[in-house]
């Protein structure tokens, strides 16, 4: 997937989440990174590298990751579950839209949004 396709799919998926207040992103060469702000204490950090196909999504509250999904050349596709975000659980590949759907499920369980 190229950066344009990643950004388009990401922004379309985030547009369907009423909790998202603002999205900021930047691109440099083959990479895009940014944040989708849910409120002042929580945001989704995202990163994609077109050349390595590395993808990272982390839901951050305060300064701590509370959930995430990543794909890299070391561990492949894996989940950082909300119950234990430091843990790595192998998962099948997901589309960006699928990842944002899983994010929606996680944030629906958080009471302070």
**All structural domains of the chain with their residue ranges:** 3-107
Q: What pLDDT score does 112 carry?
A: 56
Residue 98: CB partners within 8 Å, gap ≥ 6?
none
Exposed e or buried b per residue across 48-78, where buried means at least 16 C-beta atoms within 10 angstroms of its C-beta: bbbeeeebbbbbbbeeeebbbbbbeeeeeeb
pLDDT attached to residue 41: 82
Mean pLDDT for all residues in the chain: 93
Q: What is the pLDDT of residue 108?
A: 87
CA 4 from centre of chain: 16
Handedness of CA 62, 64, 67, 68 (dihedral sign): positive
- For the chain, residues with pLDDT lower than 70 are 40, 111-113
pLDDT of residue 76: 94
Query: Can you read off the two tokens belonging to residue 34?
Result: 């940014």
Q: How far apart are CA 76 and CA 71, in angstroms?
A: 5
Q: What is the pLDDT of residues 70-102, one digit of tens each?
A: 999 889 999 999 999 999 999 999 999 999 999
Q: Are 56 and 46 in contact (CB under 8 A)?
A: yes
Please give the pLDDT value at position 111: 57
């Amino acid at each position: 997937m190229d950066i344009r396709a990643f950004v388009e799919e990401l922004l379309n998926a985030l547009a369907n989440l009423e909790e998202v207040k603002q999205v900021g992103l930047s691109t440099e060469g083959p990479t895009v990174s940014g944040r989708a702000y849910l409120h002042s204490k929580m945001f989704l950090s995202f990163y994609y590298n077109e050349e390595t196909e590395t993808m990272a999504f982390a839901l951050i509250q305060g300064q701590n990751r509370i959930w995430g999904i990543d794909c890299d050349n070391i561990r492949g596709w894996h989940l950082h579950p909300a119950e234990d975000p430091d843990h790595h659980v192998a998962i099948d590949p997901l589309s960006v839209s699928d990842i944002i759907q899983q994010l929606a499920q996680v944030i629906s369980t958080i009471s302070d949004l």
